[in-house]
Amino acid sequence: MQPMRAIVLTVAKYAALGFGSFVMVFPFLDMFLGALRTPAERLAIPMVYWPHDPQWHNFVRVFTELPMLTWFANSVIVTVAITTIQMVTSTMAGYALAKYRFFGSRLLLNAVLGAQMFPFFLLIIPIFFLLRFVPLAGGNDLFGQGGSGLLNSYAAMILPFAVTWYGIFLMRQSFMAVPDEIIDAARMDGAGEFRIFATVALPLIKPGLATLAIFVFIYQWNEVIWTMTVTRTAPELQTIPVGIYLLRGAFVDQSTLSLQQAAVCVSILPIMVVFLLLQRSYIRGLTAGGVKG
């Protein structure tokens, strides 16, 4: 290919990627600029785009005027709890399906794969009401009547996410790469099955563990629909994105929108930092495990 043509194509390629990147990234900047606008700049016709008097203190107001700390605490509690529980259930089930041949293992594996087909909206309604009728919880009697069950509690936010089918699948893939010989050797040394799992197999799949943990953490931190459904009437339990959304009625007046935009910026920041720091292992793990189904 002639050099001129090669150069043109290369420039075109990077220009295209650059334009795409702009479209990917600039919207975040737009929100950030919005957080810095004064009410006067916002209400001006046309709206002043680049803030001349950046209202940095809006980011402080987010913490003083909004229950951001409560939301943040809830996000941390719920996300860490779910991530921990999912790591436990996924690794245990993944190990069983990878390293044992037992009655029903084939069926269970297909079930795990098939379960991913069921969309979440199918489960939202029944799980909500099943939680409502849990006996002896939240004021309920033995028959699950009279109170509000497990609703309005951390349990309601965490339990429906105790297991992730995709996580089981990923862990199974990871464990399958662990040579059976090592396991057998440990068995012959007299180690119990659980010891083998915890001290021999688990350490060998650290990259996979990291990938799953990060994946789950990010997904659960950002989870909105179930959390919103279950904490709509319990503001003290709301997580950051849910809290911001449910408080939207307070931002009817045009001039107060900068505070809302600052809150949105704050909601994005933690995950962005986590992601940028850990993205190498995260992305590597995802692409290795997930393509062919």
Q: At what angle do helices 206-221 and 68-99 cross, to 10 degrees?
A: 140
Shorter beta-carbon distance to another protein: residue 54 or 194: 194
Return the half-sphere exposure (C-beta side, CA atoms, 13 A cut-off) of residue 231.
29
Contact (Cβ atoms closer than 8 angstroms) between residue 49 and residue 33: yes
Q: Which of 30, 65, 180, 189 binds another protein (CB under 8 A)?
A: 30
Does 51 help bind another protein (rule: CB under 8 A)?
A: no
229 part of the interface to another protein, by CB under 8 A: yes
Q: Minimum distance between the CB of residue 71 and another protein, rounded to whole angstroms?
A: 11
Which residue in 53, 180, 189, 236 binds another protein (CB under 8 A)?
Answer: 236
* Residue span binding another protein (CB under 8 A) among the ranges 41-49, 55-63, 76-84, 204-212: 41-49
* x/- letters, 62..91, toward another protein (CB under 8 A): --------------------------xx--
* Closest by CA position to 270, among listed 88, 79, 85: 79
Binding part of the chain for another protein, among 50-58, 64-72, 157-165, 203-211 by CB under 8 A, reads 157-165
Instruction: Return the residue of 192, 199, 203, 277 that touches another protein, per CB under 8 A.
Output: 192
From candidates 73, 76, 163, 176, binder to another protein by CB under 8 A: 163
Distance separating alpha carbons of residues 157 and 81, to the nearest angstrom: 10
- CA angle, 140 then 243 then 245, to 5°: 115
Please identify, using beta-carbon distances, which residue of 173 and 229 lies nearer to another protein: 229
Q: Is 62 helix (H, G, I), strand (E, B) or coil?
A: helix
Place of tokens 């105790």: 162
The answer to whether the beta carbons of residues 263 and 238 sit under 8 Å apart is no
Under rule CB under 8 A, residue 50 binds another protein: no
**Residue-wise over 19-29: b if at least 16 C-beta within 10 A, else e?**
eeeeeeeeeee
Contact 86, 162 (CB under 8 A): yes
Q: Which of residues 241-280 bind another protein (CB under 8 A)?
A: 241-242, 244-246, 252-255, 260-261, 264, 267-268, 271-272, 275-276, 279-280
Peptide bond into 46 cis (omega under 30): yes
Q: How far is the CB of 95 from another protein (least distance, A)?
A: 6
**Binding piece for another protein, criterion CB under 8 A, among 43-51, 55-63, 64-72, 205-213:** 43-51
Closest CA to 290 of 172, 121, 114: 172
188: CB partners within 8 A, 6+ apart: none
**How far is residue 266's CA from residue 260's CA, in Å, rounded to a whole number?**
10
129 binds another protein (CB under 8 A): yes
Q: Of residues 7, 16, 60, 182, which one binds another protein by CB under 8 A?
A: 16
Regarding 169 and contact with another protein (CB under 8 A), the answer is no
Other beta carbons less than 10 A from residue 128's beta carbon: 16
Among positions 87-106, residues that touch another protein (CB under 8 A) are 88-89, 92-93, 95-97, 100, 102, 105
Is residue 176 part of the contact set for another protein (CB under 8 A)? no
